A and B are shown apart, each in its own frame.
Chain A
Amino acid sequence: MASSKLYSDEVSLAVVVVDTNPLFWATAALPFADFFAHLIHYVNSLLLLNHLNHVVVIAAGLSSCTYIFDSSDASASGAADVAATFAKASRKMDEFIAEDSRATSSNGSVADGNAASLLSGALSLALCYIQRVFRSGIRHPQPRILCLQGSPDGPEQYVAVMNSIFSAQRSMVPIDSCIVGTQDSAFLQQASYITGGVYLKPQELNGLFQYLAAVFATDLHSRTFLRLPKTLGVDFRASCFCHKKTIDMGYVCSVCLSIFCKYHKKCSTCGSEFNRVMPDLNSVPDQRQ
């Protein structure tokens, strides 16, 4: 990216991925309505900081995801009807949640209980949006992604999520993550670690806005000066390609690096045949962790 194409580095394009998983929000400590109010506060404050700042909100549901809010649409009609715009955004959010639950019940994929939001889809949407901004117009702001996730990871999305993370890394888009649920997310820990974003699990969810304002509203330029929260540990565990389970130890294809939890005669990804007899997994731990 030619630096001349960037605005001065404090102008940011923030894509916020919001977890709307109904199964999570039904049991969450913070009601969704309050959470949404914090979110709107945060979006507003980003827009307040710089008139060139650009904010996009993407909702990630159980089986679909969509754009909820785009500040470039809003500002075209003038700053006057910000309230109206946000009313529209929240209406769109409600519609999306209804639509999503319909889609979920029709394909019945949530039967297995461990229901994860479609993080991979939302990340891809965000990256597509950023690529579109990159390619259009003369100058573009500094992009970053913020994931607000509550529901647990879906190991079945492992490959898709990792691919999104690597493509974010390639296009130098940091992925920030803010966990609003109870458990840490290995996906997002890795995402923030790899892309150089901030991973944070707030202790006090009632003060969510303060966390968002103090940490995640910081533009990339100022981040170099500031003491931001550091990740204590990153869960680097991978999911196997055959059963989509998170594993500590497993078999890795020597050709394409696909991960399996059991020994296979042939790699299901690249088709390489493993003709040498593999020793037992427990006796020789030379496999990747």
Chain B
Amino acid sequence: MPQVMVVARNFMDMVAALPAAKLDMLYDSAFICEAVLRSLPPLAKKYALQMLYVSAPVAAAAMEEWVLDEYAAKHRVAIDRLLQLRVFVEVRDRRKEVSYKMNQKFQGNMQKYLVDGGSLPREPIPSSVTARLPTLAELESFALEQWECFLLQLINSSQVERGTSFSSSMMRTFQRGLLSSRDGEAPRLTENGFQFLLMETNAQLWYIMREYISSAEERGVDPTELISFLLELSFHTLGEAYSLNTLTDVQRNAIRDLAELGLVKLQQGRKDSWFIPTKLATNLSASLSDSSSNKEGFVVVETNFRMYAYSTSRLHCEILRLFSRVEYQLPNLIVGSITKESLYGAFENGITAEQIISFLQQNAHPRVADKIPAVPENVTDQIRLWETDRNRVDMILSHLYEDFPSKDMFDQCCDYARDHGCLLWEDAKKMRLIVRVEFHSEMREFLRRLR
């Protein structure tokens, strides 16, 4: 799932891009240290662990000895990442030799983690106060419902769903980059928007969170605080209630927005109110390193290009409609077919063949997921072929030469152009030839000499 990785990495890039002082401030929290450590590439993780109890700086040259010579590139990537995130700090001694030292706060927090194990960011409210908490299943369906609602709204933002409570300002933040709205027109999905719909839930979530954080400054909120809160949120226990009173104002505002997306569920008690993290929230930091959705797929694609989707969700239907022709719908089944026309529609919208194929593969029904390949090869090949069909015409800027006075001169010109690899086309009968645009001046020079 390459897309997910890209998105997740990008999030950590955002963390890495923070000024050093702010980053050091983030490392006051053990949760952020943990989330950062987990987001590192495997080799970097190992280095961090190895340096955990080393307080003196270690020479860079000595570290290079850790890896085999042919993998020095991997070593550099790992070290760069550690330096970017300020997990390692560069130290130069008098002889200008570089050595690395672990960030002290980070080291301290991780050492504490190893001794005491993880702890909770805040204590849950005892069940005596909260009358009845939703069960995990209820919570999950709530999260899914909110999330689907949000996605559906992206697809047909013109027809507003009944019963949704998205505030329009919030919606605008979340839709930045995904929707384009021209004045007087209903907003339309952009290329990014279409690609977004085919992503995996975790990837979508991170995309949205990135938008949310990068737009924070416009709303007068410090992005550092949001980042730390989001990472912290993912370490709360699923399904437990946490009091809103323990949050700062910024966090309280953020949690309202997150509730709309289904990351947390807000509940009101007699005296105080609390939030309950859902699976979407607790998976946030987990999905940074690995995106393993254990979701069951629902799509069966047959070799005759027919597609059966066992789903009741309107969202699924809308997503399938992006690249296939939905023929009929039964209560639990959507039947469609992948046609050239439907795919051309998708390509027009900026969706690529690879995205469609990976969507079909990732969401393959368990009955076909075991087979290799999960999607018939003739279908995937055809989807790719249809995509390349659109790229059949190559544009090359060029010049046309005609009206040559003699056959001899024409042949000389042809040979000259061919020798330089710039002859695109020739017609000996009518004595016409076409050369690349960059060769035009040389060609003119050559013709002048011939004359």
Contacts and interface: CB of A to CB of B under 8 A. Distances in A.
Interface of A: 2, 4, 7-8, 10-11, 41, 44-45, 48-52, 78-80, 82-83, 85-86, 138-139, 209-210, 213-214, 217-219, 221-222, 224-227
Given A80-B119, A222-B42, A226-B67, A217 B49 contact: yes
B42 A48 contact: no
B46 A44 contact: no
Contact of A79 (B74, B110, B235, B372): B235
A218 B46 CA distance: 6
A21 B238 CA distance: 41
B290 A50 contact: yes
A225 B49 contact: no
Nearest to B111: A41
A53 to B, nearest CB: 10
B292 A49 contact: no
A209 B46 contact: no
26 contacts: A10-B45, A44-B117, A48-B38, A48-B114, A49-B37, A49-B45, A50-B289, A51-B285, A78-B238, A78-B240, A82-B116, A83-B117, A85-B117, A138-B294, A139-B294, A210-B50, A214-B49, A214-B50, A217-B46, A217-B49, A218-B46, A219-B42, A222-B42, A224-B71, A225-B75, A227-B66
Interface in B6-33: none
A78 B292 CA distance: 19
A78 B116 CA distance: 15
Q: Top 8 A-B pairs ranked by shortest CB distance?
A: A82-B117, A225-B71, A10-B42, A79-B118, A78-B237, A214-B50, A44-B114, A222-B42
Nearest to B115: A41
Nearest to B292: A7
B53 interface: yes
Interface in B54-78: 65-68, 71, 74-75
Contact of B114 (A41, A80, A138, A218): A41
B118 A82 contact: yes
A218 B117 CA distance: 20
Contacts of A4: 372
Given A4-B372, A50-B290, 7 more contacts: A48-B37, A52-B286, A78-B240, A80-B237, A210-B53, A225-B68, A227-B68
Nearest to B34: A48
B38 A227 contact: no
Contacts of B45: 10, 49-50
Given A80-B237, A225-B67, A52 B292 contact: yes
Contact of B290 (A7, A85, A210): A7
A51 B286 contact: yes
A280 B332 CA distance: 81
Contacts of B74: 225
Interface residues of B, number: 38
Contacts of B46: 217-219, 222, 226
B66 to A, nearest CB: 6
A218 B294 CA distance: 26
Nearest to B366: A138
Contacts of A217: 46, 49
Given A48-B113, A227-B67, A8 B118 contact: no
A222 B43 contact: yes
Contacts of B118: 79-80, 82
A4 B113 CA distance: 33
Contacts of B437: none
Contacts of A11: 290
Contacts of B115: 41, 44
B52 interface: yes
A200 B75 CA distance: 24
A20 to B, nearest CB: 22
Interface string B97-136: 0000000000000100111111110000000000000000
Interface string B280-316: 0000011001101010000000000000000000000
Contacts of B289: 50-51
Contact of A48 (B67, B110, B240): B110
A167 B127 CA distance: 50
Nearest to A2: B372
Contacts of A7: 290, 292
A189 to B, nearest CB: 23
A50 B117 CA distance: 14
B49 A213 contact: yes
A139 B292 CA distance: 9
Nearest to B237: A78
A221 B42 CA distance: 8
A86 B285 CA distance: 24
A79 B118 CA distance: 6
Nearest to A10: B42
A239 to B, nearest CB: 36
